[in-house]
């Protein structure tokens, strides 16, 4: 289980601050120049094989079904495969933007394609031949501010693990969803990711991080996994972890992945699809809550939050 040393914290913290500042600059512009960026949700995992990409696709489709203009950006620089799961054959990918420096004609909006599941997809890089540099990552994060009018919410499907690429994307997100399964190795690696994030950014990062437990047999199992990792995080990191949802084990998921139709036509009638819609609703409420914390007129946000809170999601926020 790999964790960043404490000595690396200052450099990463400075870099994370610069990334957030670039995004905040759009909101601080005068009203005449303001171009609001989409809300950002990073989906990450401590290890591969936990269903993170399936979860990203399902939540993106669910958010689109809830009326949000949604974009999924595959930033898995090791094994991008969201397009494969959706049965797509894109001609342009994220590495085209990275290599050409997001020049004119190579923006995220330009290479985004219709997923067939209600949202726009930016296909991930294949065969870049090198890991993304720090400058690449900063340009990628900054380019999200150009998506005004294209997307209300942008989901970032990160690589597995605790690399600087993952931590940079998570640092810039409004919410970070750590996807894990009930397996002990997945739980341990999810905690390693959270610990690395806290060491890079400080305990305040915990307010934006939550868990989504995949491949569960019951809601009780998901809650047990949440309690287990939340107790350790509370004791050793001093933070409270939210539970953003659970997705049950579902044979329809296996059939969908093998048939390259995870969310065909945006329809998700399986138990896993229904759970993804509940998680999407909760995440949208969390985005609203965090937006309200930045607004002195927080009372105006209460009705939207209460509508979702009273929708019978059956999940706990952990706070």
Rounded to the nearest angstrom, the gap between the alpha carbon of residue 276 and the centroid of all alpha carbons in its chain is 13
Q: What is the mean pLDDT of the chain?
A: 79
Left (φ > 0), alpha (ψ -120 to 50) or beta: where does 314 sit?
left
The H or E element containing residue 99 is helix 94-99
Q: Lowest-confidence range among 131-135, 169-173, 293-297? A: 293-297
The CA distances from residue 315 to 200, 218, 285, 300, in Å, are: 29, 12, 13, 24
- Give the tens place of pLDDT for each residue, 61-103: 999 999 999 999 999 887 888 999 998 999 888 887 776 666 5
pLDDT at 271: 82
pLDDT at 156: 96
Whether the pLDDT of residue 260 is over 90: the answer is no
Residue 282, C-beta contacts closer than 8 angstroms, at least 6 positions apart: 244, 245, 308, 313, 315, 317
Q: Lowest-confidence range among 83-97, 175-189, 202-216, 260-274? A: 260-274
Residue with tokens 């287990």: 228
Give the angle 27-31-36 at the CA atoms, nearest 5°: 40
Higher pLDDT among residues 157 and 165, named by residue = 157
Q: Are 218 and 224 in contact, with CB atoms under 8 Å apart?
A: no
pLDDT at 31: 41
Predicted TM-score (pTM) of the model is 0.80
Residue 122, C-beta contacts closer than 8 angstroms, at least 6 positions apart: 71, 72, 73, 74, 94, 108, 111, 112
pLDDT at 194: 95
What's the mean pLDDT in 207-231?
95
Q: What is the dihedral of CA 213, 262, 110, 151, to 10 degrees?
A: -50
Whether the pLDDT of residue 179 is over 60: the answer is yes
What's the mean pLDDT in 295-314?
40
What's the mean pLDDT in 192-208?
86
Whether the pLDDT of residue 206 is over 70: the answer is yes
Whether the pLDDT of residue 246 is over 90: the answer is yes
| Three-class SS state of 107 | coil
What's the mean pLDDT in 180-209?
90
Count how many Cα atoms sit within 13 Å of the Cα of residue 36 in the half-sphere of its side chain.
8
Closest by CA to 75, choosing from 153, 154, 156, 129, is: 156
- CA–CA dist 33, 251 (Å, integer): 49
- CA–CA dist 37, 291 (Å, integer): 13
Cα-flanking dihedrals φ and ψ of residue 175, to 5°? Answer: -135, 145
Q: Are 318 and 243 in contact, with CB atoms under 8 Å apart?
A: yes
- Give the tens place of pLDDT for each residue, 276-294: 999 999 999 999 987 776 6
Higher pLDDT among residues 150 and 146, named by residue = 150
What's the mean pLDDT in 270-275?
84
| Three-class SS state of 59 | helix
Residue with tokens 């512009």: 29
Whether the pLDDT of residue 128 is over 80: the answer is no
What's the mean pLDDT in 132-156?
86
Whether the pLDDT of residue 307 is over 80: the answer is no
In the chain, the domains with their CATH numbers are 6-309 (3.40.50.300)
What's the mean pLDDT in 123-142?
79
Q: Are 35 and 23 in contact, with CB atoms under 8 Å apart?
A: no
Using a pLDDT cut of 90, give the percent of the chain over it: 43
pLDDT at 225: 97
Higher pLDDT among residues 229 and 9, named by residue = 229
């Amino acid at each position: 289980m790999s964790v960043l040393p404490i000595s690396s914290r200052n450099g990463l913290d400075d870099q994370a601050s610069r990334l957030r500042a670039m995004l905040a600059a759009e909101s601080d512009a005068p009203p005449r120049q303001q171009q609001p960026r989409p809300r950002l949700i990073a989906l990450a995992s401590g290890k591969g094989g936990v269903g993170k990409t399936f979860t990203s696709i399902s939540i993106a489709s669910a958010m689109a079904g809830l009326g949000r203009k949604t974009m999924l950006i595959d930033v898995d620089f090791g094994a991008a495969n969201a397009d494969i799961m959706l049965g797509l054959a894109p001609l342009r990918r994220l590495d085209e933007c990275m290599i050409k420096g997001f020049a004119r004609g190579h923006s995220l909006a330009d290479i985004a394609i219709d997923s067939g599941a209600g949202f726009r997809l930016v296909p991930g890089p294949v065969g870049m031949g090198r890991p993304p540099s720090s400058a690449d990552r900063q340009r990628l994060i900054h380019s999200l501010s150009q998506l005004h009018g294209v997307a209300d919410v942008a989901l970032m499907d990160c690589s597995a693990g605790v690399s600087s690429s993952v931590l940079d994307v998570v640092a810039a997100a409004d919410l970070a969803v750590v996807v894990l399964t009930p397996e002990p190795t997945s739980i341990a690696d999810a905690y390693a990711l959270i610990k690395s994030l806290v060491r890079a950014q400080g305990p305040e990062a915990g307010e934006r991080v939550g868990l989504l437990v995949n491949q569960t047999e019951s809601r009780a199992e998901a809650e047990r996994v949440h309690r287990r990792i939340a107790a350790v995080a509370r004791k050793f990191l001093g933070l409270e972890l939210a539970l953003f949802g659970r997705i049950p084990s579902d044979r329809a998921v296996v059939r969908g992945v093998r048939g390259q139709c995870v969310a065909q036509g945006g329809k998700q009638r399986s138990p896993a699809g229904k759970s993804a819609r509940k998680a999407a609703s909760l995440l949208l409420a969390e985005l609203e809550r965090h937006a309200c914390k930045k607004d002195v007129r927080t009372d105006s946000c209460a009705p939207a939050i209460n509508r979702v809170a009273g929708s019978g999601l059956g999940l706990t926020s952990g706070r």
